[in-house]
Structure 1
């Protein structure tokens, strides 16, 4: 990825750590942190698209955000007790960042987050923690970063 996207990824990394810690402790992804942070990342991604001379790349960012948001909104509507509204918004942000690479990255990064969350839930069940809930935000972030670090 070009250096122009580094500021957006830096803010996304810091925001991700903050959100993962909050979610792990409280099972909440507060709008007061998520929404302004996502706004900053989106503006930086838009600026990066212009800086690299590919303003149409911003369409991939918006498409990735929308695709991940609406796919996860479907999960939330189907199983609201297991997938919260904050997770839906975080998925939209993750989709935006992955959208910089392309639609395949959005799909695989979000899917990787679901796989990581499923592994964690399975481990909790195997450990005898029936009925325990896991915070899903950190796993969305793990899937996103796993896909980002895998490259284009």
Structure 2
């Protein structure tokens, strides 16, 4: 069910103001290992603004349905994963695995409620293919992908595959493109060398967001 823009804005703002500060705390605490660590005000503000924008995008894309919960949960988890990966080059299972379970459950409920079984089957197939291919790449070149990246690709395969094969392909392409551009910028500004390890999670997540942002709502499910 679509919502009027003021309602979308109110829902997004409410979620962002309530959950955003908590996400910012999780980033610094998972990055530092200190459960008493507190984020800087700019970090909290960034989390609130980004989460608000992502939740608004989710509601605009899906309307009110269980699938919106899957994408909104992934948005929040993605902010934490990106922040931790940028800080310490790690995608913690404490965030990633619950996100996989929550997203899969919400999409299953969506299929029961709306009959979107073909989309769920497509998402499950895409998740399996993405996970297997990423795991093979990890085995072939351990320095290229971490196992956290492999699991993240499985989650993104589920969500993007649910949205459509075209969305999945766009997400993979845009993720790779974002990662390549970011690496070139870091090298050009001498913040990294050609052999420096660059976190792969944030570009993958950015590519997924861009692909979903350009998806047609009518084609979902």
Q: What TM-score do you get using the length of structure 1 for normalisation?
A: 0.92
Match of 2:74 in 1: 12
- Structure 2: segments with no counterpart, 5+ residues: 1-61, 217-221
Kindly provide the CA deviation profile for residues 12-64 of structure 1, in whole angstroms up to 9, marking residues without a partner as x. Answer: 10010111111111101111221122111111111112221222321011012
Match of 1:150 in 2: 214
3-state SS of paired residue (1:59): helix
Matched, 1:27 2:92: no
3-state SS of paired residue (1:89): helix
Match of 2:117 in 1: 55
Matched, 1:3 2:64: yes
Q: Distance in 2 between matches of 1:145 and 1:50?
A: 26
Q: Distance in 1 between matches of 2:133 and 2:64?
A: 30
Match of 1:141 in 2: 205
- Cα shift at 1:133: 2.0
Q: Distance in 1 between matches of 2:111 and 2:123?
A: 9
- Structure 1: segments with no counterpart, 5+ residues: none
Kindly provide the CA deviation profile for residues 107-138 of structure 1, in whole angstroms up to 9, marking residues without a partner as x. Answer: 22122111111111111222232133211111
Match of 2:164 in 1: 102
Q: What TM-score do you get using the length of structure 2 for normalisation?
A: 0.65
Match of 2:177 in 1: 115
Q: Distance in 2 between matches of 1:113 and 1:78?
A: 20
Larger radius of gyration: 2
Which one of 78, 90, 94 corresponds to residue 140 of structure 2? 78
Which one of 100, 114, 118 corresponds to residue 38 of structure 1? 100
Match of 2:12 in 1: none
